[in-house]
A and B are shown apart, each in its own frame.
Chain A
Amino acid sequence: MAIRHDRKVSILDVMGPVMVGPSSSHTAGTARLGRVAREILDEDPVAVHFYLHPPLGATYRGHGSDFALVGGSIGLSVDDPRIPEAIRIAEQMDVDITFSEEDLGDVHPNTVRIEIRGKTREAEISGSSIGGGVIEVFKINGFQTRFKGDSPTLLLFYRDRPGMISEVTKIIAEEGINIASLSCSRKQRGKDAFMQIDVDSPMSEAALQRIRAMPDVEEAKYLDRIP
């Protein structure tokens, strides 16, 4: 299936990334998906479970996707020459790693669901590696979204209430940061909600503190570009 990208892919995305071989969709994209899970968890993982969509399940081993997924999930970048050693490194770190197949529905062939657990938190993402190292994460902790890791992004978990969006965007505007795109989803009115805000320039710690201090904000995670 040919996907029309919502945004034009940048020159650096096409002429890149710099990565460990052998396959940009099976190694680079998957390493980045693992890395997204790790960044959202935001602490050292103790267990990571990978649920591979069947086409990926059939091809992942030959392409080193297992090394790449694990490497990303323990914080390695796509160009880190230690990726071929990632599984061994994870074992030394005592991380419990499992791989299994799961039909993830009508999605890109190279799609994976990742459950990651640390000492104090856990996170879950589902995403696809759509070629050339480009990724599309479409689910974060149960919320529908569309995350590509190609710009600095704020992920906000909060209790749904009127006025939330304008308050958050006001803080970001006051910090002089331009919003590239914003999307929300929620599980039920007045219940858990999620906001993803892609911004044009890095966000300051001060801005983040202000957002975290807002009422009804459960968690605010700031992710830089995923390398």
Chain B
Amino acid sequence: MIESFAHLEKLAGGRDLADVFLESDEQEHAVPGDQILEALRRRRAVMRDCVERGKGGGTSMGKLVGNEGKLLNDAFLAGKTFMDPLTVKAEIYALSVMGENSRMGVIVAAPTAGAGGVVPGMLLALEEERHIDPERTVRALVVAGGVGSIIALSANISGAAGGCQNEVGVASAMGAAAVAYMMGGSTRQSIHAAAIALKNTLGLVCDPVGGLVEVPCVKRNALFAVHGLTAAQLALAGVESVIPMDEIVEAMVRIGRALPRGLRETAEGGLATTLTGCTIGDRLKNEANERRAERAAERERAAQERKESVSS
């Protein structure tokens, strides 16, 4: 079993990083490597599909978000964006996935649904902009998953456990390592890409307005997709994290424990308890209660009708 990132670097030597992860997973979970690759091929396709659907826009369940991907895509197509195409596309794709997610569309949790826009945003934009073979993207997904699985040895991957650093932070670290891999970087560079990305998300709290995965989650995915690309860029140029990746994960766990409950997905702190956050939270609660009452009344009516049809 790959126990740590230090262990991974030693084990990998000069070998292909995706192969190292596939081998280790095969040993531990008895799932053959080609099956993992096949499943990830399908997941890459779901990601692509999700991006396409998401670009069309729509409204989220809580009606707070949903059109961000469409807005940016429209601006991009009209030549009205000022950043380079790779960055803009990474943002469009991340936003589109999250738009779909907020409408209960089909997505890939990577590693969670709330952080599910980061990895596809980075990888699919890079694939397109640098004309990378989709099969290489599939292998990069192995790298992303492998990095996440080492982090998951010591950290619970959820906002409830340790705040958003545990979700979006982890996603951007996974994506950064995968991007370094796609660009031909070494295993050491992938690990440092992950380290630089994760290190700079530490302390990120989970404070979703009304408890929905909408605000700040949707836009946060776009911003941290770019964050991950930046980390990979630094690592590929030879920049290294002074604090080793394993120690950063440890710090993340400690910070997560120190976070008050109100900042761990409960919607009882941070943005969720701003004036606007509370107002929206109250509206959502009222609407949910109304829907529940409606459903109960509907059931009542149906039961009544059944009774009447039996007695007549």
Contacts and interface: CB of A to CB of B under 8 A. Distances in A.
A76 to B, nearest CB: 12
Most chain B CB within 10 A, of A10, A19, A23, A130, is at: A23
A132 B102 contact: no
Most chain B CB within 10 A, of A21, A133, A200, is at: A21
A183 B240 CA distance: 45
Interface in B92-151: 100-114, 116, 119, 141-142, 144-146, 148-149
A13 interface: yes
Nearest to A85: B104
B158 A11 contact: no
B142 A22 contact: no
Most chain B CB within 10 A, of A7, A64, A84, A131, is at: A131
B160 A110 contact: yes
A18 B62 CA distance: 22
A18 B295 contact: no
Contacts of B145: 10-12, 14-15
Given A1-B156, A14-B148, A62-B284, A132 B106 contact: no
Most chain B CB within 10 A, of A9, A108, A130, is at: A9
Interface string B295-312: 100010010000000000
A131 B266 contact: no
Contact of A28 (B22, B28, B113, B253): B113
Contacts of A108: 160
A21 B156 contact: no
Interface residues of B, number: 70
B149 A79 contact: no
B114 A24 contact: yes
Given A10-B149, A22-B61, A87 B295 contact: yes
B213 A63 contact: yes
A21 B98 CA distance: 9
- Interface size class of chain A, counting residues whose CB lies under 8 Å from the partner chain: 35 or more
B152 A18 contact: no
A61 interface: yes
Given A2-B161, A11-B36, A14-B148, A19 B284 contact: no
A91 B302 CA distance: 10
A136 to B, nearest CB: 11
A189 interface: no
> What is the predominant secondary structure among interface residues of chain B facing chain A?
helix
A119 interface: no
B105 A20 contact: yes
Contact of A21 (B40, B101, B162, B166): B101
A131 B212 contact: no
Contacts of B116: 21, 24
A67 B104 CA distance: 10
Contact of B102 (A22, A59, A61): A22
Contact of A10 (B28, B103, B110, B256): B28
A55 interface: yes
A4 B43 CA distance: 27
B36 to A, nearest CB: 6
Given A20-B105, A132-B157, 12 more contacts: A1-B257, A9-B148, A10-B25, A14-B111, A15-B111, A21-B113, A24-B112, A24-B116, A81-B106, A91-B299, A132-B158, A201-B30
9 contacts: A2-B256, A21-B106, A62-B62, A62-B284, A63-B212, A108-B160, A109-B265, A132-B109, A132-B157
Interface of B: 1-2, 21-22, 25, 28-31, 36, 39-40, 42-43, 46, 60-62, 100-114, 116, 119, 141-142, 144-146, 148-149, 152-158, 160-162, 166, 174, 210-214, 253, 256-257, 265-267, 284, 288, 295, 299, 302
9 closest residue pairs by CB, A with B: A131-B158, A21-B101, A11-B145, A14-B148, A15-B145, A24-B109, A24-B112, A22-B213, A24-B113
